[in-house]
Amino acid sequence: MDELLKIQEEALGKINDCQSLKDLNDLRVFYLGKKGPMQAAMKSMKDMTKEERAAFGQVSNKVKQDLTAAIEEKKQVLEEAEMNEKLKHERIDITLPSYALPLGSVHPLSMVREELEDLFIGMGYSVAEGPEVESDHFNFELMNLPKGHPARDMQDTLYIDENTLMRTHTSPVQARTMLEANGQGPIKIICPGKTYRRDDDDATHSHQFSQCEGLVIDKNITMADLKGTLELFAKKMFGEKREIRLRPSYFPFTEPSVEVDISCHNCEGKGCPMCKYTGWIEILGAGMVNPKVLEMCGFDPEVYQGFAFGIGLERVAMLKYGIDNIRNFYSGDLRFLNQFTRKD
């Protein structure tokens, strides 16, 4: 037992004097390990009486506990000292450049859509939505394109089954909105959204693209309202100097129907490749809502009139930003996308 207490005293002294975590660990291994002086002292246990052995066991356990506690305590002191030493010499250099956090950008089609929404909401329109998987009834029938109508050929259609299809235009939202209104005007909506056609993809065609539909229904609506609205659209989207030109056209859902051109913003109308040297760029289709459509959708054409228009969002974005390939919108190429930042 004296031996044990001697070992303890010696060990405590060394632990106390110890200056490094490594030395402390060596001390721990030496005094508490299998080959240390403690273990050697234990060997004498076999010559003891039962009582002596019990007393010895108690003391040796106590010594082990005390040494373990002393080492743990010293360890904390040394660790703290080490940390303080480190902190004295290490500095955080706040002048170092920080990591570059990659920032996303707004997709050019989203920018055009948001700009259109702002413009039309400012004129009292609300934004309507409709399903992309649409019924033949809404996409065609209610738009005055009955089965077998030759104008259906203008829109190569992706059918899901005989009566269900991917909407070929945003025009079915016209019918949905009118039917919801139960024959009661006024209606003033735009509907931006995705549209689908069975087209082969090339520089100007994409099987999935985007349109923005517009519909106004009220009493005493005339073509002058349509023209004024589209003129404002042209000026806001392409610059104050833009003019518009209406050319007669045909859509089953409007009568009369027009194709709308804007004066070329690229050459100010002088003639350039963008306007194919005509000074004018075709931008959208529009017209006065066909009385048959009004009637099918629950409005009395003797009381209500309306105008409608359909804008191709890719076309607007391509003209506005000089993009020459529609595939750029859908390839996810960051070199393309990063060129666009929100103007605000």
Is residue 171 a contact point for ligand DAH (CB under 6 A)? Answer: yes
The answer to whether the CB of 300 falls within 8 A of the CB of 288 is: no
Q: Of 280, 176, 166, nearest to 234 (Cα)?
A: 280
- Which residues have C-beta within 8 Å of that of residue 58, sequence separation ≥ 6? none
Nearer to ligand DAH, 60 or 229 (CB): 229
> Which positions from 1 through 30 interact with ligand DAH, judged by CB under 6 A?
none
Is residue 254 a contact point for ligand DAH (CB under 6 A)? Answer: yes
Residue 122 C-beta: closest distance to ligand DAH, Å: 20
CA distance 90 to 105: 38
Residue 324 C-beta: closest distance to ligand DAH, Å: 22
Residue 307 C-beta: closest distance to ligand DAH, Å: 7
CA distance 154 to 157: 9
Nearer to ligand DAH, 8 or 171 (CB): 171
Is residue 140 a contact point for ligand DAH (CB under 6 A)? Answer: no
In sequence order, what are the beta bridge partners of 218? Answer: 305
Residue 185 C-beta: closest distance to ligand DAH, Å: 17
Is residue 138 a contact point for ligand DAH (CB under 6 A)? Answer: no
Residue 313 C-beta: closest distance to ligand DAH, Å: 12
Residue 208 C-beta: closest distance to ligand DAH, Å: 14
CA distance 194 to 215: 17
The answer to whether the CB of 67 falls within 8 A of the CB of 15 is: yes
Q: Distance of CA 133 to CAs 137, 149, 264, Å?
A: 12, 21, 36
CA distance 343 to 276: 29
Nearer to ligand DAH, 18 or 311 (CB): 311
Total number of residues that touch ligand DAH (CB under 6 A)? 11
Is residue 169 a contact point for ligand DAH (CB under 6 A)? Answer: yes
C-alpha triplet 11, 13, 19: angle, nearest 5°: 100
The answer to whether the CB of 177 falls within 8 A of the CB of 139 is: no
> Which positions from 280 through 309 interact with ligand DAH, judged by CB under 6 A?
285-287, 308-309
Residue 263 C-beta: closest distance to ligand DAH, Å: 21
> Which positions from 213 through 242 interact with ligand DAH, judged by CB under 6 A?
213
Q: Where do contacts with ligand DAH occur on this chain (CB under 6 A)? A: 169, 171, 213, 251, 254, 285-287, 308-310
